[in-house]
Amino acid sequence: MADASVIVAQVIFGLIRGILLGCVFALIALGLNLVWGIAKVVNIAHGELVMLGAYGAYFLNLFLGFNPLLTAPIDAALGLAAGLGFYFAILHRELRGKEAITLQSEMVTLVATFGLSLAISNLANIAFTGNFVGIPFDAGSIEIGFLQIPLAGIYVAVLSVVIISLTHVLLNRTYLGNAIRAYSQDIPAAKLMGINPTAVAAIGTGLAFAVTMAGGAFLTTLFPTGINPYMGALYAPISYVIVVLGGPGRMWGSLVGGLTLGIVIDVGQIFLGVEIAYAVAFLLLIPVLLLRPEGILR
Amino acid sequence: MNFGRLLRSAPTLWGLAGFLVVLAVWGPWIPTFVLTLLINLLLFASLAYSMNFIAGLTGYVSFGHVVFMGTGAYAWGYVVGTFGWHPLAGIVAGAAVGLVLALGIGSVALRFRGVYFAIATLVTALAARNIILVIPALGDGQGIILNLGFEPLTWFYTIWVILGIQVGLTYWVTHGRIGYGLRAIKSDEDAAKALGVDAARLKLFVFAFSGLFAGAAGALNVWTLSGVFPEPAFDLLFSLQMLAMVIIGGMGTLLGPLLGAVAVYLPHNYFLTVAVGAEFIVIGILVTFFALVVPQGIVGALRRYVPTLRGIIE
Amino acid sequence: MTITIAAVEVHKRFGGVLALRDVSISVAEGQVVGLIGPNGSGKSTLLNVMAGVERPTAGRVVLDGKRVDGLPAHRIVERGVAKTHQIPRPFLGMTTEDNVTVAALYGSWKVRDAGAAREQARKVLNLIGLDGQADALAASLTVQTRKRLEFGRAIATGARILLLDEIFAGLSPDELREAIRLFTHVQEEIGFGALVVEHVMPAVLTISEHVVVIEEGRKIAAGTPSEVVRDPNVIEAYLGTEAARAAT
């Protein structure tokens, strides 16, 4: 039964790769989840942030020789600034003074960020050219039996989980976190507690962008030639599915959703091929929305 | 009802009708170069009216409308390529497939409100594209190549008819009982239900029209290209442009989709020779600007700021 | 033939919370029934169950002899029962008249023609004294006017029984007197039945011929207004706090 053992080996490898990929997916989706959960903004330009994070890593490596793992904090700092800018340039106009964020408001920011997404990806296409690029990075690999697992993948997966955990701690154990959670649940009540809604929403957005761009930097180590101006068109929908799976506003949910998607995609493609594996991953959203609109947790 | 009163009661409708009649009469004398531009403009307008049925009239923003275009295109390619149907019959097939798919997708996705509907339609379109890629009868991802003649005048009158029907239907559903129901749903769906509006049925009704016309337009689009290929047929940029046209022109209005089509098509054509892709930067910035500053679109803004136009354009 | 809507032994559970336990109530066309109880006692939930907005966890809703629980809200409206929202939900971008026209077109009148429905809407606006604001955008109306519009829309559906969620709340004494006068006038004119949910006691006691009291999802008393106010359970659960507040 040589065939069977080959398939088993493939599945194990797919599973490991899916878990590593899933951790990075989770980090990227966490960025979406934060803005979605805090400001009720579904950022359609989320994928473009991932793309900018990846290009940030690429250029830092190309011109300054940075290790892609070390580019993540720089990306995050850029993301923080971009998030604050984005909040005041785009969101503030719609969200300021609102006591509750209505469906109408959600649709306004959805459409506004959709326009941004279109502009940013095509601007990038002109600025960076449409060629696929990548960062040559090999951190070696470890061998477990017949399996070779690239260490870079393990590093970024672990770092992703660490960042997600830190975000969790930040949201649940700090004053800023409490303020953010209060704002996301009840704006008038948060105001009564002396919380400045604008500051909280802006910082939350900055945090979300920082996390997303760091995730974009991490991705470059998993996909050695996957950087392209339109890569966001893939990572945005993946993030939507992850957030819905885990439940908007639930930070651990992102991890569960990310791992689910990573495994479905990497194990699925062994049996179904890449196209159908992705189709299945995308369509997971539908039964979850129908049966468990609050997410699969609980 | 005498003619003058009819004219006054629906000036926008008659204005659009006049515009179409002028085009139809002029048709045979239009220089070929201009004609191909016009075909594309009318195709864009047709896609805009298709999107207007759902996003404009109910507020349900669909990011995946290209799925109806793409499947309509493949239906056309399949019946024309495999069964040798006349291309015009292929358009009907494309429309039928769009309609059936819209009923299927709509009966599930229309249960999701707001952003959830937008995301559900997006992932459906992405998944549909991936599935089409692996179907052997549909070219196994290689597409279907057909060598049909260059018939700009036939294409022109075909899209003309499709657009004419859409304009008429848009007028019909925005006036009278259905129009009241749709406006109520768009404003507050639960409150509408509490007054007896069967929101689910009404939404599905307009979504079906939306899918039907996107299917027909998708079929016509590939007829002009003489072949169906997965990447262009399912290019998400079509969905996004459909939405952009309706947002810029004015959601749910009668004239808006046409104005939006012009606003999106002009940069398209201009940048084609300057910098490919740059048109989307312009369109994207326009969309963001309109969403935040002029959410009622060109038509809504004109009605609001130019009082004399209030009774004329809709 | 008059119609009757009844909730029979209705239970409603939200997650771990039992919002309604074994509540029965009925309203017939032409009859005004008051439903009172402290905040959070389950009044609105009961209304939602009867209007088809929520499904009961157990028990049934019977309209005109047929079970209607599980039917969507719009089907209940078609059968002649309409509910108002506690916080009015007008279609903000539409005029007052258009708001009411929607109700006339889709309610139980079976008016299909927009012109006829507008005519109907104008009659209703006249009846509730909003004819002067027919062309005003709903977004420009005051909260009190919105409440009146909410009431007018429910009437315009052609409902023979209205489920009214706190239409008298938040009014000044003068406004309350005026609102009660209007309600009584319209009720006599049309002859609809109404289940009036309120925690403003005096209003309910004035207009209702029968009053049901619920507390923590349970029915604790029922009877004529004068019987109910003397009921020790009610005094304990409801009037006690109210009286205490009045005394201070």
Q: What is the pLDDT of residues A117-142, one digit of tens each?
A: 999 999 999 999 888 988 887 778 88
In terms of DSSP bridges, do strands C218-223 and C210-215 run parallel, antiparallel, or are they unpaired?
antiparallel
Q: Is pLDDT of A275 > 50?
A: yes
Q: For C146-200, what is each residue's pLDDT tens digit?
A: 999 999 999 999 999 999 998 888 888 888 888 889 999 999 988 899 999 987 7
**pLDDT tops 50 at residue C247:** no
Joined together, the tokens standing for residue B74 give: 């493949």
Which domain does B59 fall in, by range? 11-236
Query: Quick check: C78 and B196 CB within 8 A?
Result: yes
Residue % of chain A over a pLDDT of 90:
55
Per-residue model confidence as pLDDT tens digits over B175-188: 889 999 999 999 99
Residue of C nearest to B193 (CA): C74
pLDDT tops 90 at residue C203: no
Mean pLDDT computed over A265-294: 90
CB contact under 8 Å between B196 and C112, yes or no, is no
Mean confidence (pLDDT) of chain B: 89
pLDDT exceeds 50 at position C248: no
Q: Chain B: nearest CA to A273, how far in angstroms?
A: 9
Closest partner CB to C107 (pick from B183, B184, B195): B195
Domain contains C125:
no
In a domain, C119, yes or no: no
How many distinct structural domains can be found in chain C? 1
- Examine residue C175 and state whether it is found in any structural domain, yes or no: yes
Residue C247 lies inside a defined structural domain of this protein: yes
Three-state DSSP class for residue B258:
helix
pLDDT above 80: residue C207:
yes
How far apart CA C91 and CA B191 sit, in angstroms, is 8
Segment B238-255 shows an average pLDDT of 92
pLDDT at C239: 57
Q: Which of C99-108 are b and which e, b meaning 16 or more Cβ less than 10 Å from the residue's Cβ?
A: bbbbbbbbbb
- A173 Cβ contact partners less than 8 Å away, ≥ 6 residues apart: none
- Average pLDDT, integer, range A102-115: 90
Between residues 123 and 142 of chain B, which touch chain A (CB distance below 8 Å)? 123-124, 126-128, 130-131, 133-134, 141
Most distant pair of Cα atoms in chain A: their distance: 69
Percentage of residues in chain B with pLDDT exceeding 70? Answer: 97
Q: What confidence tier does C245 reach under pLDDT thresholds 50, 70, 90? A: low
Look at C74 and B198 and tell me if their CB atoms are within 8 Å: yes
* Contact predicate B66/B272, CB 8 Å: no
Show me where the domains of chain A are located: 28-291
Residue C155 lies in a domain: no
Mean pLDDT for the stretch of residues A252-267: 92
Whether residue A146 is predicted with pLDDT greater than 80 in this model: the reply is: no
- Give the pLDDT of residue B1: 45
CB contact under 8 A, B284 and A115: yes
Q: Is the pLDDT of residue C241 over 70?
A: no
Is residue B97 very low, low, confident or very high in pLDDT (cuts 50, 70, 90)?
very high
Q: Is A42's CB within 8 Å of B111's CB?
A: no
How does residue B243 score in pLDDT terms, banded at 50, 70 and 90?
very high
pLDDT score of B93: 96
Report the gap between the CA of A104 and the closest CA in chain B (Å): 8
Q: What is the pLDDT of residues C10-19, one digit of tens each?
A: 899 988 888 8
Sign of CA dihedral A182, A187, A193, A198: positive
Q: Compute the distance between CA of residue A129 and CA of residue B250 in angstroms, rounded to an integer.
A: 34
Nearest CB to B176; choose among C107, C108, C114? C114
Q: Is A42 on the interface with B (CB under 8 A)?
A: yes
- Cα-Cα-Cα-Cα dihedral sign, residues A116, A120, A122, A126: positive
Residue of B nearest to C83 (CA): B194
What CATH number does the domain containing C46 carry? 3.40.50.300
Q: What is the pLDDT of residues C45-79, one digit of tens each?
A: 999 999 999 999 999 999 988 999 889 999 999 99
Residue B258: predicted pLDDT:
95
pLDDT (0 to 100) of residue B214:
96
Residue in C47, C97, C102 to test binding to B, most B beta-carbons within 10 Å:
C102
Give the rounded percent of residues in chain C with a pLDDT score beyond 70. Answer: 96
Can you tell me the ipTM of this complex? Answer: 0.91
Q: Is the pLDDT of residue B2 over 80?
A: no
Q: Tell me the residue range of the domain where C222 lies.
A: 22-53+169-248
pLDDT interval class at B5 (50, 70, 90)? low
Residues of A in Cβ contact (< 8 Å) with B286? 115
Residue C48 in any domain: the answer is yes
In a domain, B245, yes or no: no
Please state whether beta strands C32-36 and C193-198 pair in parallel, antiparallel, or not at all (unpaired). Answer: parallel
Contact of B290 with B244, CB cutoff 8 Å: no
Token representation of residue B98: 């769009």
Closest residue by Cα to residue A136 from A220, A74, A24: A220
Q: Among A94, A114, A278, select the one facing B287 at the smallest CB separation.
A: A114
* Mean pLDDT confidence for B53-74: 93
In 3D space, the residue among C29, C133, A128, A107 whose CA is nearest the CA of residue B243 turns out to be A107
For residue A162, name the pLDDT band (cuts at 50, 70, 90): very high
pLDDT tens string A60-72: 999 998 888 889 9
Contacts of A283 in chain B (CB under 8 A): 123-124, 127
Secondary structure of chain A as H, E, C letters: CHHHHHHHHHHHHHHHHHHHHHHHHHHHHHHHHHHHHHHCCCCCCHHHHHHHHHHHHHHHHHHHCCCHHHHHHHHHHHHHHHHHHHHHHHHHHHHCCCCCCCHHHHHHHHHHHHHHHHHHHHHHHHHHCCCCECCCCCCCEEEECCEEEEHHHHHHHHHHHHHHHHHHHHHHHCHHHHHHHHHHHCHHHHHHCCCCHHHHHHHHHHHHHHHHHHHHHHHHHHCCCCECCCCHHHHHHHHHHHHHHHCCCCHHHHHHHHHHHHHHHHHHHHHHHHHHHHHHHHHCHHHHHHHCCCCCCC
Q: What's chain A's average pLDDT?
A: 89
Helices C143-156 and C96-106 cross at an angle (nearest 10°) of: 30
Q: How many domains does chain B have?
A: 1
φ/ψ of residue A87, rounded to 5: -60, -50
What is the average pLDDT across A95-119? 88
Name the residue with tokens 């004819």. Answer: C131
Scored b (16 or more CB within 10 A) or e, A14-30 reads: bebbbbbbbbbbbbbbb
Number of helices (H) and strands (E) in chain C: give both, helices first.
10, 10
Contacts of C120 (CB under 8 A, 6+ apart): C101, C104, C109, C111, C156
The pLDDT value recorded for residue A2 is: 57
Q: Is the pLDDT of residue A265 over 90?
A: yes
Question: Which pLDDT does position B3 carry in this prediction?
Answer: 61
Residue B259 has pLDDT above 90, yes or no: yes
Nearest-neighbour CA in chain A from B78: distance (Å)? 21
- Report which DSSP code applies to C57: S
Q: What number is the average pLDDT over the span B10-16?
A: 87
Hey, which residues 103-132 in chain B have their CB within 8 Å of chain C? none
Confidence of residue C246 (pLDDT cuts 50, 70, 90): low
- On the question of pLDDT at B24 being above 50, the answer is yes
* pLDDT tens by residue, B265-288: 988 878 777 777 788 999 999 999
Examine residue B285 and state whether it is found in any structural domain, yes or no: no
Q: Tell me, what amino acid is at B66?
A: V
Compute CA A239 distance to the chain's CA centroid, rounded to the nearest angstrom. 6
Tell me which of B262 and A100 has the higher pLDDT. Answer: B262
